[in-house]
Amino acid sequence: MSILDKVVAAVTPLESDEQRAEARAKARTAATDGDWLSLVLDHHHQIESLFAAVKAATDSSSRTRMQKRLALILTGHSIAEEAVIYPALVKANEEAHSTKAYTEQSAAKVQMGLLEDLDPMSQEYLDKLEHIRGAVAHHVYEEEGNWFVDLKTKLPPADQTKITFRYQEEFSRYTRDGEESEETYDAMPSVSDDRVSDGTLGAKSRN
Ligand SMILES: [Fe+2]
């Protein structure tokens, strides 16, 4: 196991499914329709469904396709949090929570990048996928359990409105571009692609 794997494994969830469900129910109560917290909760749910879909895929091409969909939503969501929600935590005097959140999401991004280079039908792939899923589940529990619920009460209404607008703006900026370029994305070679190893892909793109 690499050091980065250990970083991810170190935050493997200790909380139970019941505790996670309780945290989400509490966060849902704190959220109002269409506000930043409701959007974040919707995206957390979507990310969980996509992790399950990647794992459930029965062939290489469908697993890779679901992995790309997961990466699109996970990265779009995390970038929106990093650009908008975590700075708001600092503004609300929750700097330690903000720093921890950035660190955990960076580790997940590294592992999602490395996942791209593994054979999607291998055990190594499934092990790494499960590490990432566990780390993301714990991170989500921390956000829903208290960080974000506290943020809802600590900043005034004007800040809440701005956070909602900016979170939507950042998330849609990333995911809209991703949807438009999905065909290009699917055509990207993997590291095992012959066109990469014999250099023809690079030669073609230079012509
Ligand atoms: Fe999140």
Q: Do 76 and 50 contact (CB within 8 A), yes or no?
A: no
Q: Do 148 and 37 contact (CB within 8 A), yes or no?
A: yes
Query: Which residue, 178, 163, 179, is CA-closest to 39?
Result: 163
What's the pLDDT band for 27 if we cut at 50, 70, 90?
very high
Q: How far is the CA of 77 from the centre of ligand 1 (A)?
A: 7
Tens digit of pLDDT for each residue in 119-131?
A: 999 999 999 999 9
Sequence-distant (6+) residues with CB within 8 A of 126 are: 55
Q: Is the pLDDT of residue 133 over 60?
A: yes
Q: How far is the CA of 173 from the centre of ligand 1 (A)?
A: 17
Residue 4, class by beta-carbon neighbours within 10 Å (0-12 exposed, 13-18 middle, 19+ buried)? middle
CA separation for the pair 84, 63 (Å, rounded): 31
Q: Is the pLDDT of residue 192 over 70?
A: no
CA separation for the pair 182, 72 (Å, rounded): 10
pLDDT, residue 199, reads 43
Q: How far is the CA of 78 from the centre of ligand 1 (A)?
A: 6
Q: How far is the CA of 193 from the centre of ligand 1 (A)?
A: 33
Query: Which residue, 91, 67, 77, is CA-closest to 143?
Result: 77
Q: How far is the CA of 108 from the centre of ligand 1 (A)?
A: 12
Tens digit of pLDDT for each residue in 136-161?
A: 999 999 999 999 999 999 999 999 99
Q: How far is the CA of 40 from the centre of ligand 1 (A)?
A: 6
What's the pLDDT band for 176 if we cut at 50, 70, 90?
confident
Q: How far is the CA of 66 from the centre of ligand 1 (A)?
A: 19
What's the pLDDT band for 112 if we cut at 50, 70, 90?
very high
Residue 107 phi/psi, 5-degree rounding, is -60, -40
Q: How far is the CA of 188 from the centre of ligand 1 (A)?
A: 28
> How large is the average pLDDT for residues 182-195?
50
Q: How far is the CA of 200 from the centre of ligand 1 (A)?
A: 40
Q: How far is the CA of 1 from the centre of ligand 1 (A)?
A: 26
Q: How far is the CA of 117 from the centre of ligand 1 (A)?
A: 25
